[in-house]
């Protein structure tokens, strides 16, 4: 085949690939490469052993299969996207191509066929790929904490969640919205509007609002206060935020659920003067509340994330004014303040969780390691060579490409890596006795906090923002100073992770931590007063102070007025208070460590 025809066919395929979601005719494709339609079709079929129409159809149906794996995808939308006039026509074509119906795509994702773009060289490459393999029962829309999606700690939390069976359990468990079916309210019957495609979203919101409203109604009913709480229930949902009826679904569900909850708790034939019955309902509601929290995949993953982020010491890190990594940061993080991917930290987290692992850093071993692990049903963690968001969970492989889950809720949503993109693979091996204990974790936190204090990280911030120093700065330098302080305050919000992890222990809301048995020690009531003091300092105090410094940078408009120089005094005092809080928290951590 001549180089001329290689270019003609390559240009035609490139045009098709760019227009798969648009109408494409054979005449249109041939005209773009300046060849008659009949001549083009003859050559295309001779070279590829398929018609151009077959190629377009196969590519569309292959891509449609991948689209259906995405959260909240709708068959009708994908049918229209890939130029099918009806959902029925699309479903028939899809079934002929993949061997399964569109509605079964998520449940049987291993059956989906992958028809890759053709590449015309001296040989023909592409077509059906028989190597595509995914871990069974591991949903591609597994959750990632919204704080970061591509740090080692976040990826580790998600993998641990799957290995400990929390992911599969939670993904199969339905939200219980039928709790009130014994005595449904006649005053506020459930109604779902007939709004076409918005109906599913409305119903989902309605059910969530209904359940929350029921809880609140029970609480108020038991107190004999028929007042709707002011804080209307809202829920972060991975659905179309603009869909008609979503907010009204929350509101309506909340109203109806509240009425039913009150009805149950305070109906004259049920609970009047019956303390035992009221207590029984109250206990059932509390149990359902707890189960509802723990059944959320996002909630489970975030609890693991908060735990590991705190126990490895990352949530105790503070940063220098010049942003150079401290000794403690180098121990925990490799590239930036968040990644948690230093070798020491990787080893600590695997040791705390009780898993052996192997670090693979040879390109020659990557493919065989991935195939072996995925075929054994165990995901891997990969570190890619470039960029700031460098870690990925690997749940499958497709020839020379790797498959990662969708980064639901995550801030960063990177592309799937290829083997050549990888620097290191972490292969998870057998479960074993944890090599590190709760006391080891506390000592690690101590070490990080001690380094913060010894390095006097807040000292340079305080010195530069003092009244005298701030007074001498130009307007531009003042802006640079407050901008740098704002960036540091965003880092300081890791105190939220620290406080949340301790709250779970204090409240014994640690169902997900059961698989790390030594951490149960921290549920002892003797720690609770110290936990409360730390939580109040970390969240209520540092959190609020950090926001106030962010507000200074975002809201102050400098115009050269003399009064602006006094901002330095405000900033200085606020930073000194944050520094003092860090010292007090460190003292409490020392006491807890001594008591374990």
Beta pairing partners, 133: 397
CATH number of the domain at 3-130, please? 1.10.10.60
The Cα 449–Cα 586 span in angstroms is 6
Going by C-beta distance under 8 Å and a sequence separation of 6 or more, which residues neighbour residue 12?
29, 30, 32, 33, 40, 44, 52
152-166+309-431 is a CATH 2.130.10 domain: no
Helical segments of 333-466, H only: 343-353, 363-375, 438-454, 457-465
Q: Which of 112-121, 232-241, 392-401, 432-441 has the highest mean pLDDT?
A: 432-441
Please report which confidence band the pLDDT of residue 579 belongs to, taking 50, 70 and 90 as the band edges: very high
- Quote the pLDDT of residue 272: 46
Distances (CA, A) of 483 to 37, 108, 495: 61, 50, 20
Helix, strand or coil for residue 383? strand
CA distance 461 to 481: 9
| Predicted confidence band of residue 102 (pLDDT cuts 50, 70, 90) | very high
Locate all alpha helices (DSSP H) within 149-245, ordered by sequence: 152-163, 166-172, 198-222
Report helix, strand or coil for 120. Answer: strand
pLDDT digits (tens, 9 = 90+) for 219-246: 666 555 444 444 444 443 444 444 445 5
Where do we find the tokens 């609020």? 544
Residue 210's pLDDT band (boundaries 50, 70, 90)? low
What confidence category does residue 60 fall into, taking pLDDT thresholds of 50, 70 and 90? very high
| Chain centroid, CA 220 distance in Å | 34
Spatial neighbors of 403 by CB under 8 A, at least 6 apart, are 132, 134, 140, 394, 395, 396, 397, 416
Cβ neighbours of residue 538 under 8 Å, at least 6 residues apart? Answer: 495, 496, 498, 499, 581, 585
Q: What is the DSSP string of 11-58?
A: HHHHHHHHTTTS---HHHHHHHTT--HHHHHHHHHHHHSS-HHHHHHH
Per the prediction, the chain carries an average pLDDT of 78
Q: Which pLDDT band holds residue 197 (cuts at 50, 70, 90)?
A: very low
Calculate mean pLDDT across residues 69-87.
90
Distance CA 91, CA 466 (A): 69
Give the Cα separation of 225 and 233 in Å (integer): 18
Tens digit of each residue's pLDDT (9 = 90 or more) over 42-59: 788 777 878 899 999 999
Q: List pLDDT tens digits, range 428-478.
A: 998 888 999 999 999 999 999 999 999 999 999 999 999 899 999 999 999
125 membership: H or E segment, kind and range: strand 124-128
Q: pLDDT higher for 253 or 124?
A: 253
pLDDT bucket at 111, cuts 50 / 70 / 90: confident
**CB 455, CB 326: distance < 8 Å:** yes
492-508 burial, b if ≥16 CB within 10 A, otherwise e?
A: bbbbbbbbbbbbbbbee
Look at residue 300 in the predicted model and tell me its pLDDT. 77
Q: Which residues pair with 145 in a beta bridge?
A: none
- Burial of residue 159 (number of CB atoms within 10 Å: 0-12, 13-18, 19+): buried
Which percentage of the chain shows pLDDT scores above 70? Answer: 69
Identify the residue whose tokens are 């994702």: 109
Candidate from 127-136, 245-254, 355-364, 384-393 with smallest mean pLDDT: 245-254
In the structure, what pLDDT confidence band is assigned to residue 147 with cuts at 50, 70 and 90?
low
**Region label for 124, one of left (φ > 0), alpha (ψ between -120 and 50) or beta (otherwise):** beta
For residue 325, pLDDT over 70 is answered with yes
For the segment 403-419, the average pLDDT, to the nearest whole number, is: 75
Q: Which of 206, 286, 186 is nearest to 253 (CA)?
A: 206
Ranges of each domain in the chain:
3-130, 152-166+309-431, 174-297, 456-595
E strand segments, 268-377:
355-360
CA dist 512 → 223, 302, 515, 520 (Å): 32, 10, 7, 11
Residue 432 phi, psi (nearest 5): -145, 180
Residue 15 corresponds to which tokens in the numbers above?
A: 């045009």
Q: Which two tokens stand for residue 25?
A: 């005719």
Cβ within 8 Å of residue 458, ≥6 positions away = 318, 575, 576, 578, 579, 582
Report the C-alpha gap between 213 and 226 in whole angstroms.
12
Residue 547, classed as helix, strand or coil, is helix
pLDDT of 581 above 90: yes
- Mean pLDDT calculated for residue range 134-144: 64
pLDDT of 10 reads 86
Q: What are phi and psi of 133, to 5 degrees?
A: -135, 135
pLDDT for the residue numbered 593: 96
The pTM of this model reads 0.62
Average pLDDT of the segment spanning 75-98: 91
Distance from first CA to last CA of the chain, Å, rounded?
76
| pLDDT, position 530 | 93
Helices and strands, counts by H and E, the chain: 23, 9
Structure confidence at residue 404 (pLDDT): 84
Residue 425: the pLDDT is: 97
From the number of C-beta atoms within 10 Å of its C-beta (0-12, 13-18, 19+), residue 205 rates as buried
DSSP strand pairing (422-431 vs 401-403):
unpaired
Neighbours of 425 (CB within 10 A): 23
Token look-up 């026509």 returns: 89
Reported as a single tens digit per residue, the pLDDT across 499-556 is 989 988 888 766 656 668 788 888 888 999 999 999 887 767 898 999 999 999 998 8
């Amino acid at each position: 085949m001549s180089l001329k025809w290689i270019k003609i066919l390559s240009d035609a395929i490139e045009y098709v690939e760019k227009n798969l979601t648009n109408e494409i005719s054979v005449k249109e494709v041939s005209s773009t490469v300046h060849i008659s339609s009949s001549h083009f079709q003859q050559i295309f079929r001779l070279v590829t052993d398929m018609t151009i129409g077959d190629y377009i159809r196969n590519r569309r149906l292959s891509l449609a299969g991948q689209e259906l794996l995405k959260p909240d995808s709708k068959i009708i939308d994908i049918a229209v996207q890939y130029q099918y006039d009806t959902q029925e026509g699309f479903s028939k074509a899809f079934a002929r191509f993949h061997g399964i119906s569109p509605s079964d795509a998520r449940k049987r994702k291993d059956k989906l066929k992958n028809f890759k773009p053709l590449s015309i060289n001296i040989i023909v490459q592409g077509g059906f790929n028989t190597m595509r393999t995914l871990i069974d029962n591991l949903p591609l829309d597994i959750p990632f904490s919204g704080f970061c999606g591509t740090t080692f700690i976040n990826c580790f939390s998600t993998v641990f969640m799957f290995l400990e069976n929390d992911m599969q359990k939670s993904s199969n468990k339905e939200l219980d919205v039928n709790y009130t079916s014994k005595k449904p309210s006649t005053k506020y019957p459930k109604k779902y509007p007939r709004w076409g495609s918005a109906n599913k979203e409305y119903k989902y919101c309605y059910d969530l609002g209904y359940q929350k409203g029921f809880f609140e109604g029970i609480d108020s009913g038991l107190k004999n206060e028929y007042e709707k709480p002011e804080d209307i229930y809202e829920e972060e949902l991975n659905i179309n935020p603009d869909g008609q009826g979503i907010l009204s679904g929350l509101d309506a569900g909340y109203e109806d659920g509240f009425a039913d909850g009150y009805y149950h708790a305070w109906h004259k034939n049920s609970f009047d003067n019956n303390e035992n019955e009221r207590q029984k309902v109250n206990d059932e509601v509390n149990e359902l509340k707890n189960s509802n929290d723990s059944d959320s995949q996002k909630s489970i993953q975030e609890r693991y994330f908060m735990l590991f982020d705190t126990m490895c010491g990352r949530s105790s890190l503070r940063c220098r004014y010049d942003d150079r990594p401290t000794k403690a940061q180098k121990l925990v993080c490799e590239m930036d303040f968040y990644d948690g991917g230093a070798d020491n930290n990787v080893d600590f987290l695997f040791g705390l969780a009780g898993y052996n692992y192997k670090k693979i850093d040879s390109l020659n071993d990557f493919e065989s390691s991935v195939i072996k692990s995925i075929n054994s049903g165990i995901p891997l963690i990969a570190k890619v060579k470039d960029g700031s968001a460098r870690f990925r969970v690997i749940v499958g492989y497709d020839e020379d490409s790797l498959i990662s889950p969708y980064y639901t809720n995550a801030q960063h949503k990177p592309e799937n890596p290829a083997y050549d993109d990888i620097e290191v693979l972490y292969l998870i091996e057998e479960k074993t006795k944890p090599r590190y204990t709760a006391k080891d974790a506390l000592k690690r936190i101590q070490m990080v906090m001690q380094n913060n204090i010894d390095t006097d990280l807040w000292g340079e911030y305080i010195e530069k923002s003092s009244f005298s120093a701030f007074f001498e700065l130009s307007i531009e330098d003042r802006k640079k100073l407050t901008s740098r302080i704002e960036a540091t305050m965003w880092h300081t919000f890791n105190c939220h992770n620290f406080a949340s992890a301790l709250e779970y222990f204090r409240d014994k809301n640690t169902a997900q931590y059961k698989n790390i048995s030594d951490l149960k020690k921290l549920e002892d009531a003797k720690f609770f007063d110290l936990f409360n003091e730390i939580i109040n300092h970390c969240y209520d105090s540092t959190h609020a102070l950090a926001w106030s410094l962010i507000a200074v940078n975002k809201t102050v408009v400098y115009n050269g007025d003399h009064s602006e120089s006094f901002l330095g005094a405000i900033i200085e005092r606020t930073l000194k208070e944050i520094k003092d809080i860090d010292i007090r928290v460190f003292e409490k951590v020392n006491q807890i460590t001594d008591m374990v």
